[in-house]
């Protein structure tokens, strides 16, 4: 039985025996003992003082004595005012390593593939531009949350909704028609998503010039933005697309094809993927059907200009547009259709949308309208709202071309990883192919860890130079720790001196610190999954790597003369390597066997 469970039960029995207090397991909360105090787990006794009718120190002393007498796994205790610190016997920790040390899946629950799945949507790119740094955070967070939920036992399905239609797509198409001269990915040597993104920027440049000219002729700014010829033509193109115009559809398919090829290359480099991809072009009509249903039900209304709205003023919001006056749909219309389709496809336990916090209002509205349309599963919709990635010089703007391109960033990170690896002598005895692979996984490890170690709800400032340091709270530091451990284990396996070990050993402080962190792995994963936070997993991996390095610096392993102690330490090393590999895998990070 887990020591926390045993200790909780013993405390419950002590409270009943000493004071007649009935406390169930859930009401007894144990905390990790602070590092400046001696002990492993701490009970705050203040909640029981009133019923016990004694001073906090006396209550703590009596509970501690009762537990120690009835639970042999507790080797001692101490009292600091109203805080009762329990010390766990080494025999428990040693038995834990003996039983779980060879379990490569320790801490991970087996997913129940027969259960209703948790559907996680992430990426959701527009097909008018390449993926950029903001998309990187989205993709890494979506992938990692999916891995985390699976590690906690959920049946997870990863999906992507591609925004492959709309006014933004028409802008790129129109600019390519006007200014492209037939340019293709092959003729330009550009990735398809980069080429299409080039013309999105080109549209904005010419559009702004038209708006400026109209304003100089006396037209108000808002009116000029609507009347600019390029915008009028783009709106017309969108309407023609929805009407099935063959020429518009053919161009749309060609340019989207360029983009998809580019996206797939970037997804591959990032190491992310999906179980199913949805396309807005295939879901927006279902959304329109739901809008018509809402009109028939009387929960939606049509204005005099023909546009369709949902009145949410009674819910503390405002009126929400669902169909424009020309009959074209908006994002909300499409998301209504996609939500229904996804629910029907999977019968999901939960629908999780990994989308930036600028869309908080959008998802409040989505849930409300689904509920008004009569869908009982509307409360299963969950918006995993995350903060923006910012740069030292401010926010990124795709239409102005001021973004950090995902492909360029990965290239830069790989070059930096190569330079730093050579500088630190990490390339010794590796072939060229092994070096390239090492540089790639170090670069992605640095990038992913730097982004995922930040709480998802917080904005973050991206700094590539900080991310790839081999010291400190970075991916490469943890990757190097894993490689160092694997080297120790390989050398031990080659030696005939390493054998079995006994549970009668005494551990030193550094060994105990490492074992305690390992022991907390299952609970740490479960806690992180409950709040969809890969940052908690990243923090766990860092704390484990840091504790191991402290142990490694102060404690002989292969040079230890006592054969049983040496064997135990090698087993502990192997268990740490496995835990680092599993936790980093949740973050989508590969750990090298050697560096």
Output the pLDDT for position 284. Answer: 82
Q: Hey, what domains does the chain have and what are their CATH numbers?
A: 3-88 (3.30.1360.70), 122-270+338-400 (3.40.50.620), 407-586 (1.10.730.10)
Report, as an integer, the average pLDDT of 400-425: 79
Residue 394 scores a pLDDT above 60: no
> Is 211:225 a contact under the CB 8 Å cutoff?
yes
> Is 484:529 a contact under the CB 8 Å cutoff?
no
Distance CA(442)–CA(463), nearest Å, equals 16
Smallest CA-to-CA distance from 285 within 237, 364, 350, 340 is with 340
Output the pLDDT for position 399. Answer: 44
Output the pLDDT for position 427. Answer: 67
> Is 183:176 a contact under the CB 8 Å cutoff?
yes
Residue range 107-116, pLDDT digits in tens: 999 988 889 9
DSSP 3-state helix, strand, coil percentages of the chain (rounded to 5)?
Answer: 60, 10, 30
Report, as an integer, the average pLDDT of 459-470: 81
Q: Residue 78's beta-bridge partner residues?
A: 85
SS3 letters for 100-155? HCCCCCCCCCCCCCCCCCEEEECCCCECCCCCEHHHHHHHHHHHHHHHHHHHCCCC
Tokens of 98: 């003996």
Output the pLDDT for position 401. Answer: 47
Residue 295 scores a pLDDT above 90: yes
Q: Which helix (H) or strand (E) holds 353?
A: strand 350-356
Residue range 13-50, pLDDT digits in tens: 999 999 999 988 788 999 999 988 999 999 999 999 99
Q: Quick one: pLDDT band at residue 416, thresholds 50, 70, 90?
A: confident
Q: Tell the residue number behind the tokens 């006794």, with chain if given.
A: 45
Residue range 243-273, pLDDT digits in tens: 999 999 999 999 999 999 999 999 999 999 9
Output the pLDDT for position 177. Answer: 97
Report, as an integer, the average pLDDT of 145-169: 95
Tokens of 133: 């740094």
> Is 274:158 a contact under the CB 8 Å cutoff?
yes
> Is 456:137 a contact under the CB 8 Å cutoff?
no
User: Residue 132: left (phi > 0), alpha (psi -120 to 50), or beta?
Assistant: beta
Distance CA(410)–CA(265), nearest Å, equals 12
Output the pLDDT for position 455. Answer: 95
Residue 172 scores a pLDDT above 80: yes
Q: Quick one: pLDDT band at residue 400, thresholds 50, 70, 90?
A: very low
Distance CA(367)–CA(353), nearest Å, equals 12
Tokens of 54: 């004694």
Query: What are phi and psi for residue 218, nearest 5 degrees?
Result: 105, 0
Smallest CA-to-CA distance from 443 within 463, 457, 464 is with 464
SS3 letters for 149-180? HHHCCCCEEEEEEEECCCHHHHHHHHHHHHHC
Q: Residue 301's beta-bridge partner residues?
A: 309
Least confident of 61-65, 137-141, 170-174, 277-281: 277-281
Q: Transcribe 74-85 into DSSP letters.
A: EEEEEEETTEEE
What pTM does this model have? 0.90
Tokens of 203: 């549209």
Residue 403 scores a pLDDT above 70: no
Output the pLDDT for position 497. Answer: 56
Give the CA diameter of the chain.
92
Report, as an integer, the average pLDDT of 265-289: 92
């Amino acid at each position: 039985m887990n020591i926390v469970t045993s200790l909780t039960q013993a405390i419950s029995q002590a409270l009943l025996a000493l004071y007649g207090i009935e406390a169930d397991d859930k009401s007894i909360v144990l905390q990790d003992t602070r590092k400046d105090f001696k002990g492993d787990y701490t009970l705050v006794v203040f909640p029981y003082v009133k019923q016990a009718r004694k001073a906090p120190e006396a209550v703590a002393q009596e509970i501690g004595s009762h537990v120690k007498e009835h639970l042999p796994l507790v080797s001692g205790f101490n009292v600091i005012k109203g805080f009762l610190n329990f010390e766990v016997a080494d025999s428990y920790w040693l038995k834990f390593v003996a039983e779980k040390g060879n379990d490569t899946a320790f801490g991970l629950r087996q997913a129940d593939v027969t259960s209703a799945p948790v559907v996680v949507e992430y990426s959701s790119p527009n097909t008018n531009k390449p993926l950029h740094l903001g998309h990187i955070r989205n993709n890494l967070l979506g992938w990692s949350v999916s891995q985390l939920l699976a590690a906690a036992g959920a049946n997870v399905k990863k999906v992507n909704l591609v925004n492959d239609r709309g006014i933004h797509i028409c802008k790129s198409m129109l600019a390519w028609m006007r200014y492209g001269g037939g340019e293709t990915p092959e003729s330009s040597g550009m990735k398809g998503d980069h080429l299409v993104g080039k013309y999105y920027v080109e549209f904005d440049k010419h559009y702004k010039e038209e708006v400026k000219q109209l304003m100089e002729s006396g037209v108000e700014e808002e009116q000029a933005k609507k009347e600019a010829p390029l915008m009028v033509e783009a709106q017309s193109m969108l309407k023609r697309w929805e009407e099935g115009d063959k020429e518009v559809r053919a161009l749309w398919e060609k340019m989207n094809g360029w983009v998809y090829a580019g996206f797939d290359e970037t997804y591959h480099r990032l190491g992310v993927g999906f179980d199913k991809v949805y396309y807005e072009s295939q879901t927006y009509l279902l959304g329109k059907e739901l809008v018509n249903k809402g009109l028939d039900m009387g929960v939606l209304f049509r204005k005099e200009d023909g546009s369709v709205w949902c009145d949410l003023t009674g819910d503390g919001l405002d009126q929400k547009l669902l169909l424009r006056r020309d009959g074209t749909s908006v994002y909300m219309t499409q998301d209504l259709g996609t939500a229904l389709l996804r629910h029907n496809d999977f019968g999901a336990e939960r629908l999780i949308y990994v989308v930036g916090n600028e869309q908080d209002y959008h998802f409040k509205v989505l849930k409300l309208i689904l509920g008004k349309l009569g869908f009982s599963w509307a409360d299963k919709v969950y918006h995993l709202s995350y903060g923006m990635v910012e740069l030292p010089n401010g926010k990124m703007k795709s239409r102005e071309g001021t973004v950090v391109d995902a492909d360029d960033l990965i290239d830069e990170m790989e070059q930096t990883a190569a330079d730093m690896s050579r500088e630190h002598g990490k390339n010794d005895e590796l072939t060229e192919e092994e070096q390239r692979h090492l540089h790639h996984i170090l670069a992605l490890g640095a990038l992913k860890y730097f982004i995922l170690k930040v709480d998802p709800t917080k904005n973050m400032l991206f700094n590539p130079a900080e991310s790839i340091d081999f010291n400190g709270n970075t991916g490469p530091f943890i990757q190097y720790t894993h490689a160092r451990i694997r080297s120790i284990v390989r050398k031990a396996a080659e030696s005939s001196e390493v054998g079995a070990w006994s549970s009668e050993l005494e551990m030193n402080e550094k060994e105990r610190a490492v074992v305690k962190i390992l022991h907390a792995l299952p609970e740490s994963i479960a806690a992180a999954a409950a709040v969809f936070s890969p940052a908690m997993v990243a923090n766990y991996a860092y704390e484990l790597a840091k504790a191991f390095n402290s142990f490694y610096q102060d404690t002989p392993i292969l040079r230890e003369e006592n054969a049983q102690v040496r064997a135990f330490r090698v087993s502990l090393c192997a268990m740490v390597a496995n835990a680092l590999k599993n936790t980093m895998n949740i973050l989508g990070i590969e750990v090298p066997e050697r560096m």
